[in-house]
Structure 1
Amino acid sequence: MESSLTELPTLLPNQSMDSCPPVENTAENMMFGIYYIIVFLLALSGNSLALWIFARQRNNSSPANVFLLHLAVADLFYVFILPLRATYHLTGGHWPFGEIPCRLAGFFFYVNMYASLYFLACVAGDRYLAVVHAVRSLKVRRPHYAHIASFALWILVIVSMAPLLITKQTVEVNGSTVCLQLYREKASWRALVSLVVAFTPPFIATLSCYLLIVNSLRKGSRLEPALKLRALRTIGLVMFIYVVCFLPYHLSRATFILGYGHPDLSCQIKRGLALANRLTSSLTCLNGGLDPLVYLFAAEKFRGSVRRIFCRDKSGGSGATSGELKGTHESSLSAKSEF
């Protein structure tokens, strides 16, 4: 997973070059700084609440909730790096924190992004089994197995990103310290291969699972109409996160890697590629603010807890409504899918 990104960039738009001066300006840095502060506040509050609720439900959880719990942990790991990014831009593109925080900023960025991608893929796989193979998947869809799969994914992602922690990542440019880990503006074929390998499997798995779910619902699933609508909303939201937060970044990175080092490329095009790289990189951080909406749509018990906290729902109970068992095959599907 982009382990080749541990190499220092050979081409940086931030560097002082006579033929292609820096592209960052005060307005751009101000916009990025304010943006990261807003995302920090949204992601911190939403994921902290989610982690607290999921922790309270740990004795009565589902595989989907387990994956969402780990997703919230991944988001919180990265949330605390966002103020550092904001400071970098608000100080005019200067990194005042030193070498180790720079390495950690890049490490947590990639751990969060790829852990999020794979945990969302796991949620999609669990939804597919619950809706399309509800009865046959009962033995597999257990929280214990979900935790094992989650810890295996953590190990895979952390080991893949670990080289980022041992490579020097700060340079001095025009009297300012630049953290190379913030925006990986580097042209490398190995980075391109890593990019494809890291992003393509979870994206294809998520898209395939949700297309199969939609096909099953279209053919006449035994889920109640309200639950079908909720299922479609969940699918739409997760794919929205993929399309807005992750797909633009990987397409931009691929374009940057393929095009930036071309000798015939004009300075204006290089500036555009660099700006697109920074913009799409900032979009990936937005997933931390959007993921709590996935929890609301995907986890019935999570919604019930939120209603009791904010709306003071007097109905009490467990928070489960149409997802409760009613002794029928239809309700069994509802409870297992937890849409």
Structure 2
Amino acid sequence: MRPSTMATYSTALEVPSLPPNITCAPVDNTAENLIFGSYYILVFLLALNGNSLALWIFSRQRGTSSPANVFLMHLAVADLSYIIILPLRATYHLTGGHWPFGEIPCRLAGFLFYVNMYASIYFLACVAGDRYLAVVHAVRSLKLRQARYAHIASFSLWALVTVAMAPLLVTRQTAEMNGSTVCLQLYREKASRKALVSLGVAFIPPFLATLACYLLIIRSLRRGSRLEPSLRLRALRTIGLVMLIYVVCFLPYHASRATYILGYSLDLPCRTQRALALANRLTSSLTCLNGALDPLVYLFGAEKFRGTLQKLLCRGQAAGSSATSGDLKGTHESSVSAKSEF
């Protein structure tokens, strides 16, 4: 970025003005930095505890893993990798927009953030596809829905997302200004129209696939599925929670990001520039909530996870656990596959 462009940053948070030919007066973002820094620390603690527990539980179920459990285990790995950079973001804000870690950590912070955000999005889509097969094509999909196929799909997704985000590692992302170092990669403050294409390709397919799968599941349940009422309710809760994660965590960011990219090269008033930059940072922070909300998906979406957690929390309630185990045996054939997931 040219020095003339760099002069448009705010001295407090050091965010660039969108048009390169307009200089906006610096503003005091002390309160904003404090809020963002505290928020990232809180989300980090919640997500770290929830996903660490989930990964430990899933790792104990390797011999009997279902496809859904495999996808959820990879989702927990993505979440943990996703949140390890949150302390760096918190430090950045709590030091008034100063990045003390250097160029390479700046690139890695952005790379890990976006690799694992999109990995999470695609694993949620995989969970949706597995749910669709389990509910709508329960018997016919038994051969397809095996743990080894889920692992193959998961590692393929990891490779695809990693390669797609690799360019983030090769471009300079720090800048010196007013005695402070700014990490542009944290909020992708550089933008170009070409980025719209990659943004759409990365988000729209998994989002539409997830939405389509859950609409088809809902239609199947309304038409009269052979699932028991309690399982039907669990399925609907899982559907609602996953779609809530998309609506709260991912959809606002991608809508805001597209607007930010479109406005980056325009001659916009300073107030509009700052509003777009703030929306970019705010919606980016919302994506982090995914790591704190995903443990609820494990709780509602994986029967074995829920059972193991109940044993950990209520060791004295063995009878309730036995009742759940017995309940799994007395269902229709077409609901066997779905019941193990819900």
The bucket for the TM-score relative to the shorter chain is over 0.9
Partner of 2:222: 218
Farther-moved stretch of structure 1 (317-326 vs 94-103): 317-326
284, 303, 306: which is aligned to 1:303? 306
How far the C-alpha of 1:15 sits from its partner, in A, is 5.6
Q: How does 1:24-63 map to 2 (within 5 A)?
A: 25-63=29-67
How far the C-alpha of 1:166 sits from its partner, in A, is 2.1
How far the C-alpha of 1:334 sits from its partner, in A, is 3.9
How far the C-alpha of 1:19 sits from its partner, in A, is 2.9
Structure 1 letter corresponding to 2:234: R
CA–CA distance in 2 between the matches of 1:8 and 1:331? 61
TM-score, structure 2 as length reference:
0.92
Q: How does 1:230-249 map to 2 (within 5 A)?
A: 230-249=234-253
CA–CA distance in 1 between the matches of 2:198 and 2:265? 18
279, 289, 294: which is aligned to 2:292? 289
Q: How does 1:124-135 map to 2 (within 5 A)?
A: 124-135=128-139
Partner of 1:182: 186
CA–CA distance in 1 between the matches of 2:2 and 2:142? 48
CA–CA distance in 2 between the matches of 1:216 and 1:117? 24
CA–CA distance in 2 between the matches of 1:104 and 1:318? 47
**Aligned-pair RMSD on alpha carbons?**
2.1
Corresponding residue SS for 2:188:
coil
Corresponding residue SS for 1:181:
helix
| Compared CA separation, residues 113 and 63, structure 1 to 2 (3 A) | same
CA–CA distance in 2 between the matches of 1:330 and 1:131? 8
CA–CA distance in 1 between the matches of 2:136 and 2:243? 19
Structure 2 gap ranges (5+): none
Answering whether residue 111 of structure 2 is matched by residue 81 of structure 1, we say: no
| Compared CA separation, residues 16 and 315, structure 1 to 2 (3 A) | closer
TM-score, structure 1 as length reference:
0.92
Structure 1 letter corresponding to 2:283: T
Corresponding residue SS for 2:328:
coil
Answering whether residue 165 of structure 2 is matched by residue 161 of structure 1, we say: yes
Query: Paired residues, what number?
Result: 331
Farther-moved stretch of structure 1 (85-94 vs 167-176): 167-176
Structure 1 gap ranges (5+): 1-6
CA–CA distance in 1 between the matches of 2:214 and 2:187? 32
Is contact 1:325–1:335 with CA below 8 Å preserved after alignment?
A: no
Is contact 1:324–1:334 with CA below 8 Å preserved after alignment?
A: no
Partner of 1:271: 274
| Compared CA separation, residues 256 and 133, structure 1 to 2 (3 A) | same
Runs of at least 4 residues of structure 1 off by over 6 A?
7-12
330, 333, 337: which is aligned to 1:329? 333
Is contact 1:300–1:323 with CA below 8 Å preserved after alignment?
A: no
- Deviations 1:273-306, CA, capped at 9 Å, x for gaps: 0000000000111101111010000001101111
Structure 1 letter corresponding to 2:152: I
CA–CA distance in 2 between the matches of 1:323 and 1:26? 56
Is contact 1:8–1:180 with CA below 8 Å preserved after alignment?
A: no
Structure 2 letter corresponding to 1:268: R
CA–CA distance in 2 between the matches of 1:46 and 1:57? 17
How far the C-alpha of 1:215 sits from its partner, in A, is 0.4
Corresponding residue SS for 1:189:
coil
CA–CA distance in 1 between the matches of 2:27 and 2:260? 15
Partner of 1:3: none
Corresponding residue SS for 1:139:
coil
- Deviations 1:187-241, CA, capped at 9 Å, x for gaps: 3111111100100000000000000000000111010111111100000000000
| Compared CA separation, residues 294 and 22, structure 1 to 2 (3 A) | farther
Partner of 1:4: none
Is contact 1:40–1:80 with CA below 8 Å preserved after alignment?
A: yes
CA–CA distance in 2 between the matches of 1:245 and 1:37? 17
Farther-moved stretch of structure 1 (251-260 vs 40-49): 251-260
